[in-house]
Amino acid sequence: MKKVVIIDDEPIIVQGLSKSVDWAKYGCEVVGTAGDGVEGKRIIEELHPDILFLDICMPQMDGLTMIAGLKSEYSDMQIAILTGFRDFEYAQKAINLGVSRFLLKPSNMDEINEAIAHMVERSDKIKGTSSDVPEDGESEEAVADNFIVRNALSYIEEHYNEKILLSDVADKVYVSQWHLSKLLNKETGKNFSEILNTVRIKKASELLKDPSKRISDVAEEVGFLDVAHFSRVFKKVKGISANEYRNHTK
């Protein structure tokens, strides 16, 4: 039996899909439902469904980023989007990330049944094999991986001066810490701490050009709580001390 999870903040949609479809006919079983993205992510991590019906217009949720995270970490999972969002460009991005079906609300039973049949067939086809490769030669998984890495790096760039952990960034891009760590290392050759420190030291280098700022102030401004730690990291990244760098750039 293929496992199905349904995530939608409209209870009537969840109940309708759960009760109205003859899941056994397709060799499927609804094993979990959720009314928001956070609970949905937890259920997905726990149950590893084969098929997912997902509303991407729920509050406090970036639909495309969640899709990319799911396709990156669970490449065999078949995803059908449920949405009232009638935007072709958005739909195209979702499809490029590996979504199997884009269903506009309200969908009729014929559309839903066709989507299930398609996802079951596709799941059977790719189980144990690599993902389908589009004409441009880039797999759906690679597209999703790149999307996740770009979003993770962007989040780090925007929040470098805060106390952020790998787990914080992983939550924002809807993947596990382990998976994000693997993707970042593959793409950049660096671990999370090295990426974060590189961004912080780049920003610090700009701030050190202002002679009115003390080195301790600069350290704090870019997210270091300990000036000694900042000094060690700065020298490791730049090859010279922060003070030498400041004198050199005068």
The stretch 191-211 carries a mean pLDDT of 95
What does the pLDDT read at residue 130? 44
What does the pLDDT read at residue 131? 46
| Type and span of the H or E element at 245 | helix 242-248
Q: Give the predicted TM-score (pTM) of the model.
A: 0.74
Residue 138 binned pLDDT confidence (cut-offs 50, 70, 90): low
The stretch 98-124 carries a mean pLDDT of 89
| Type and span of the H or E element at 79 | strand 78-83
Q: What is the CATH T-level fold of the domain 194-248, as seen in this structure?
A: Arc Repressor Mutant, subunit A (1.10.10)
Q: Are 44 and 124 in contact (CB under 8 A)?
A: no
What does the pLDDT read at residue 133? 45
pLDDT tens digits for 145-154?
989 999 999 9
Q: What is the mean pLDDT of the chain?
A: 88
Query: Domain coordinates of the chain in residue numbers?
Result: 2-126, 194-248
pLDDT tens digits for 206-230?
999 998 999 999 999 999 999 999 9
Q: Cα–Cα distance between 45 and 49 in angstroms, integer?
A: 9
Fold: same for 2-126 and 194-248: no
pLDDT tens digits for 76-96?
899 998 887 776 677 778 878
In this structure, whether the domain defined by 2-126 belongs to CATH 3.30.1300.10 is answered with no
